[in-house]
Amino acid sequence: GLAVEDAFVGILTRMEDGDFTVVTKGSKRCARPKKGNGPSYSPSSSAALDADSFEAGDVLKGVSEALSSLRGSPWISNVRDIVLSHVAVLANQQPASTRPGEGIAETQTADTMGENDTRGWFQDMVCYGLGHVGGSRTAQLQAAVALLLKEELRITGEVQLFDPVLTEKEKAGAQQLGFSVVEVNEVGLHTVSVNTLFFMPHCGRRLYSNVPPSP
């Protein structure tokens, strides 16, 4: 498989150890809970905030401001280009993919997408560990990065979000921004059926190991 977390360590220092993992169609779960010592999902670094005071409007305002400050910046362009440099390798290894239910194979190669443009290769995105998007500036920036990557990478499917610290009002705000909130703690054992980008800042090592690898 191709792990790309290390390639992002330098460029994502402003996001406090933000990491990306490429997961391709057909990937399988790579870890199982051990008896008596199952995997846990540690809350993100903003868990200590007074979340009871957060409103959905706080999420919308904070993330919208973060979007304005990041959109069009050289930094987000660099992040996009790093992702695409790895996608170009994977796209040539995986010539076609089919979204379940459509019944039509869509060629997803670097050649058909353009020599230097593999945007559109990812169909879904999963975000773990963003933190309290209602009150943490870091969490709001991370949510903004996820939404901008959706735009920059032309991800047309879902952008799923899970963090155990999120309140119901924060979830409501996230949904208004376009996130699909995951209600069940999957401890990273998320099954994918299409090319999926995982965005996982502030997660524990065990959670990273549970994410399905690219073949």
pLDDT over threshold 60, residue 186: yes
Q: E strands of the chain, at which residues? A: 20-23, 96-97, 106-107, 124-128, 159-162, 180-181, 196-199
Query: 10 versus 65: which is more confidently predicted?
Result: 65
Q: What letter does residue 124 receive in the DSSP assignment?
A: E
- Looking at residue 11, its pLDDT comes to 35
**Residue entry with tokens 């309140």:** 167
Residue 33 banded pLDDT, cuts 50, 70, 90? very low
Give pLDDT, residue 119: 83
Q: Identify the pLDDT of residue 214.
A: 56
pLDDT at 29: 42
Round the average pLDDT of the chain to a whole number and report it: 74
Which whole-number Å values give the CA distances from 41 to 3, 78, 86, 206, 207, in the listed order? 21, 30, 28, 8, 7
- Of 3-12, 99-108, 150-159, 162-171, least confident by mean pLDDT is 3-12
Phi and psi torsions of 199, nearest 5° = -115, 115
Band the pLDDT of 213: cuts 50, 70, 90. low
**Of residues 16 and 158, which shows the higher confidence score?**
158
CA distances for 29 relative to 38, 107, 141, 171, angstroms? 15, 25, 29, 26
